[in-house]
Structure 1
Amino acid sequence: MLVAPKPWGPRQFAATAGETQPERVAAEMVRYALGGFGDSLSRADPLLPVAEEAMRILEQGALNLQGGGEGSAEAVGMLMLAMSTLLYRSGKRQDAIEKLKATQQVAPSAPFRVAAWESLMGLQMEAGQEILSSMSPNDSVDMSSKDDDSNSPDQEHLKFRVNAIKGLIALLNGETDSAQLFVNGCRDFAGGKKHTENATLSYGEYLHCVGDFSMATQVYERVLEAMSVEDMSRNLLVAGNMVPEEGLYRKALEVLKAPAISSEGTSKQMEWRDIISLARGEYAELLLIQSNRKAEGERMKEWAQDAWRNRRLTLAQALEFTEPSKPTVVVDTRIGRVV
């Protein structure tokens, strides 16, 4: 049974994060809405009263803080990112995408534009949408600002986040060489700092895919260390499936809820298609060696091959467990794709 928390009141604001009063207020609203409400959401029932109440809190906060002086634009941007996360957790991915697009248009500074773009790309990748590696400037993210120093350490970390996403897109498109161009130089920034946990993870996946297991292990360990010691509730400039504590393991528990093999058209329409195809392909391999279930294995293998869409390697290659020099399959459960 879900119990609605007490109404939001002035005493529940705690100035614990942010640089200005509006940012501190927004940060507490985000933690209250996504922490108190968000953890209770069920994707099977996106219209739960708790979700609606959480959205009202965020929307009212954005309305109240708009045009309120120093830090108000940043506060509103923070709340809009949180709204997109809440919409995503409620199963409204397209609404979350539209909210991120709106955030990009009104974002006050480069960190907010990067966060919105990073999350937008993540949701589009999760949806299986076609994204070109050689994106035009209009499809990318504007990191320019009259108040930003393009050579500052913060700007370099933002560039790392952008390049890591571009590299991940290239991997999904089967363009390993292009991915290398984007991740060159990433090693210096893969420390899990300044909201770069997801970028670091993408860099680790690139290393994993090309067979550099030693370096990939080091990078993965950095992410785990950063997430174990850092208060992730303060990592507010991320959204959707790119929220560090969201999307890494939860989706993996859902992937086996696959449609029946006899269902028509589902292999092309279903979510988490890559992962389900891989799982069914592995299961088919086991059935094929059993004489009394060989026919079933053939049907399952055919289904998996038909559903498989990875451009970097075939399903047969993904199912091979061979020497490190061979292509490696990496499952990214943030976006529900095989890279």
Structure 2
Amino acid sequence: MFSNFHFLYLVGGGGGGKIGEAEYFKVYSCILVLLLRLRQACVHMSLTKDAIDMDAFKVDDDETDKVIAAEFEASFANMSLDESGLVDTSENKGQNKQIEKVFQREYASTKVVAVLERLKPIIENGDKCVIVSQWTSMLSIIEYHLKLSNTKYTSITGNVKAEERQYRVDSFNKRNFGPSVMLLSLTAGGVGLNLVGGNHLFMVDLHWNPALELQACDRIHRLGQTKNVFIHKFVCSSTIEQRVLQLQEKKTQLATSVLEGAASKKLTKLTKDELMFLFELDKPAPTTQKTRAATALANANSQPTTSSQPTA
């Protein structure tokens, strides 16, 4: 896709030469696509299926391939809350089917399971919930599992017409009636909607721009709300999402001067330093024995002279 040299040149500012502007944007685009796929994999693997060569996961009779397949399945078993439904290493064909199962839209990923588990007591308590995602394909997956659990829901995405949108909003806002869940697209429903019928909001995935998420939260935290409001963010530990969350916190500090409800253009793009942070290139490189010796010598030569002065 692109070389390590190009990556370090673009993200880390390294490299001994210069690349053209066209090549620069090509490499930059590749990095953003990789970040997109990593974020999608944290939500549901089916979102990445179109960009993956599924034949690469097929297991042959070679012993090495068996070991690789077993490790791959074990890693996904750790991510799933239902390990028994994923691990099956009895036959090569069975291994292929189990791997492919993870990429099917009907598969309950870790986040889907977590959303459903958190949603159940909320509905039983008589409250309503808004589930937000920046990917409509993820909303479709959640919709499939809501149907399986016989949960009443409605949705608002970019495909919903204006008159139908208002009808769905009014239906959701009815107390003790109507759907208990609103599936909301982050971009289509982030502004102009009054969803005070719900007092819980699930942020299934994280966006680079925290202002967009705040706008979505304002759909339920506004005038007319009579209940306590709860915002739930679902973050996969030890993944790119944790870095995105930290990046959001940094950007939120910069957004203090932005008017409420307005998204700052400066916060919507990733800078070079932010890319380095996401890929953990902001950490100092490991030192060798030579560099440690040189650093110690430099520190010894630059030690300031101090003298103690009596205090009055």
Query: Does the TM-score normalized on the shorter chain lie above 0.5?
Result: no
Structure label with greater radius of gyration: 2
Structure with the largest fraction of strand: 2
Structure with the largest fraction of helix: 1
TM-score of the aligned structures, taking structure 2 as reference length: 0.28
